[in-house]
Amino acid sequence: MTIVCFMVTRPPIEPVRLVHEICLDALAGNKRSRTAQRFTPIQSTCYATLADFRVMCEKVLGPIFNAENVDPIKYAIRPNVRDNQSMKRDLVIATVGSVIGRDHIVDLKNYDVLILVETVKNITGISVVRDFDKLKRFNVEQLYEQYQITRDKQSGEKPKSDDKKDVNVVPNGEKEDENSAEH
């Protein structure tokens, strides 16, 4: 079962920084959450129309990409559109690209920043994130598992298998503990 939870933050808390810190904590072994699996930070939202989306892009992307004396930034765009017919993927990419301009470089593999665009029904959100792939797409479960594997390798222990006992299957289909099997 999939459960989606929306959390609103108010200044001075920045959603991108909050998610980044939670993910770094999970990578360091401090999970902070027992139920959340993945986070998607959203810096700004608008109605899912191209005109409103363009205004939001100028507000969010302008200070990052169009400020004075900015070196060329390598970027990628990752749009995700669900249950919406007007916000087509190609139009979203074209709108973001037109706001950013030609001075910056599109690099889908080795980008400096990733522009996440999430559209669900009639709402569109955008955020500019770093370390998206390094932090396993902000998947806290995968980051914590990576920490456990690294910790076990460093200590020389055998990785644990989710509290499952070693079980043998006997010919009649029943399961039996390995310790109680007669040899």
State the average pLDDT over residues 15-20. 93
7: in domain: no
107: in domain: yes
Query: What CATH number does residue 85 fall under?
Result: 3.30.2300.10
The predicted-structure confidence for 28-77, as pLDDT tens digits, reads as follows: 988 877 788 889 999 999 999 999 999 999 999 999 998 888 899 999 99
Report pLDDT for 66: 86
137: in domain: yes
Q: In terms of residue numbers, what domain contains 53?
A: 15-155
Rounded to 10°, the helix 89-100/50-65 angle is: 40
183: in domain: no
180: in domain: no
> How many domains does the chain divide into?
1
Tell me the C-alpha distance between 135 and 114, whole Å.
13
143: in domain: yes
167: in domain: no
Look up the pTM and report it: 0.79
CA angle 121, 108, 31 (to 5 degrees): 70
